[in-house]
Amino acid sequence: MIRKIIKYPNSKLRLISEPVQKVDKSIRRLIRDMVSSMIKGHGIGLAAPQVGVAKRIIVLSSTLARISIINPEIVERGGDSLLEEGCLSLPKVLKIKRRSNKVKVIGLDIYGKDFSIDAEGLFARVLQHEIDHLDGILIIDKGEKYGIK
């Protein structure tokens, strides 16, 4: 099922997401819905709060794979870079953001098993962007306003 991606200034985007206690069928169904919504929205990442669910879940899509991470946590960072970012919840808004160029993220996979991933470049940036959403942080909260399409 495709879920509606909520847009700023909806207050649900500011909620602090709760950790997932049990990975079950309902969580896997939510993840499938999030992936469908991300694809329909032509995004490369989506966090559960963006579909109105205050749970610590993110999904990402790269040219190689689609990845879901439950209760993601950044445990290592390296380097930094400035790049322009957009967001499905803030259509037409672009911001230049400073982010770590490399990150290591731990969490759970869709079966509740420990999971870790090392990422760099755009993939690292998307992970950081989506994890920010889990803490109610939007791209308009940090950095300088760059422009509007």
Catalytic residue set:
130
Q: What is the DSSP letter of 135?
A: T
Q: What is the DSSP letter of 140?
A: G
For 4, the token pair is 């509606």
Instruction: Tell whether the torsion through CA atoms of 51, 55, 56 and 57 is positive or negative.
Output: negative
Give the chain's count of helices (H) and strands (E): 2, 8
Helix/strand/coil percentages in the chain, nearest 5: 25, 35, 35
At position 56, the amino acid (one-letter code) is R
Whole-number Å distance between alpha carbons of 14 and 66: 26
Q: Which residue has the tokens 């669910």?
A: 53
